[in-house]
Amino acid sequence: MSSETIVTPGRRLGLVEEHDAGPGTYVRGGMIYSSILGTKRITAPETSEKPVIQVDRKSPLAIPTIGSEVLCRVIRMNPRAATVAIMMVGSTPCQEDFAGTIRHQDIRSTEKDLVQMVNSFRPGDVVRAEVISLGDQRSYFLATTKNEHGVVFAQSTAGNTMIPVSWEEMQDPKTKAVEKPKQGRIPQHVAFIMDGNRRYARKRHRIASSGHVSGFYRLANVLEWCNDLGIQNVSVFAFAINNFSRSPEEVSALMSLAKEKLRELADKSSLVKQHGVRIIIAGNRDLLPGDVREAAEFAEEKTQHNRGMRLNICFPYSATDEISAAIRKVTEDVRKGVLSENDIDEQAIESRLQIPGPPLDILVRTSGQIRFSNYMLWQSAKLAYIRFVDVFWPDFSFFHMFCILISWQLAYKSIKQRS
């Protein structure tokens, strides 16, 4: 007997003490992780005492057809076309790579005569495309003419991950060199419920506060990845209002950590300094101790003129408190004559919410818990793409982030059709 499911690289599969690691996996810190994109199988033991977990590059349904959205890797190029290996069809990994070709005339929908292959792709680029023809019996013909299609991951000639700076340009953040690959769509607002810090600490036989410290350092990594990917707005659930009901020792440790890290982030973080990150504290700050409130105000004032990525730190926050506060502001503005009763609508409430920024594109919750925990309920109800990841926040990796971005791009067309 065996059970099967699709997994992505870096996905936690099980405990070493409960399973043996098979092909397509690796072991770290007593856990078994997937090393490839494929099908997870748990096989009953034959010679060993424990079940074997393995990941196979196996998916019999992943066969490209006309109209399929595919994820492919550029293998080689010439002035007229790029040869690619198709790795995924939709969200399903291929059993083996299929050959594909992106021809010169199929890269853009307009100004086709101005397209240069050397400016569009580079060997190693990961590209989202659509199958437009079954091709010449040797490879499928693919196109990237739609806005949501194009390069989703690329490295510069210097080997650095490039940042989208416009619909047509990507920039090496270190050398500042600008290149013009045909890009895929990038989300503009991503939110994270950073869950699992305490369980991460308990698993390692540490005190709860050490898990929160590890979670802060993972947040710094995630912000770097979001900045590199060109995501302009990030919201993080740092502390829920109901977290004040936890033990006084843990609440005190969290407040001390927040006070220290808010000042450190605003005053010393290389990310904030180099990329001009603006920090906004969203939530009911009247509930904070005086010294923590001062640190929050310091972080906002220190970064208020920055024009880079906007970081909304929700602290302390709950969605019901946010919506209630917005309704109170509407009522007060009507009383003052600033707003008439006839003007009370969805936009009137939305403009008075605590979390600023464009509509939410993606909401990610770690730790495997499938619930919102009273976070961004208003924003999530408006066509946000929700992903629950079965990994503690300190273990959240770039592989998880990258796979979420790819799956959002896959779902974008159907999301827009529902809007």
Residues annotated as part of the active site:
195, 243
- CB-based contacts of 190: which residues, under 8 Å, 6+ apart? 226, 231, 233, 234, 235, 360, 361, 362, 363, 364
Burial of 78 from C-beta contacts in 10 A (0-12 / 13-18 / 19+): exposed
Q: Taking Cα atoms as reference points, which of 66, 68, 97 lies closest to residue 84?
A: 97
Q: Cα-flanking dihedrals φ and ψ of residue 105, to 5°?
A: -80, -5
β-pair partners for 100: 84, 140
Residue 404 tokens, joined: 């979420």
CB contact at 8 A, 356 and 185:
no
Q: Cα-flanking dihedrals φ and ψ of residue 182, to 5°?
A: -80, 110
Phi-psi region of 82 (alpha: psi -120 to 50; beta: other; left: phi over 0): beta
Q: Where are the beta strands (DSSP E) in 2-91?
A: 2-7, 12-15, 20-21, 25-28, 31-34, 38-43, 52-56, 69-78, 81-89
Angle separating helix axes 290-303 and 248-267, nearest 10 degrees:
20
Sheet of strand 178-179, all strands in order from the earlier edge strand to the far edge: 163-164, 170-171, 178-179
Q: Cα-flanking dihedrals φ and ψ of residue 374, to 5°?
A: 60, 40
Q: Please state, in angstroms and rounded to a whole number, the distance separating the CA atoms of residues 114 and 119.
A: 10
Does residue 43 sit in helix, strand or coil? Answer: strand
Q: Taking Cα atoms as reference points, which of 184, 160, 182, 189 lies closest to residue 172?
A: 160
Q: Please state, in angstroms and rounded to a whole number, the distance separating the CA atoms of residues 280 and 299.
A: 8
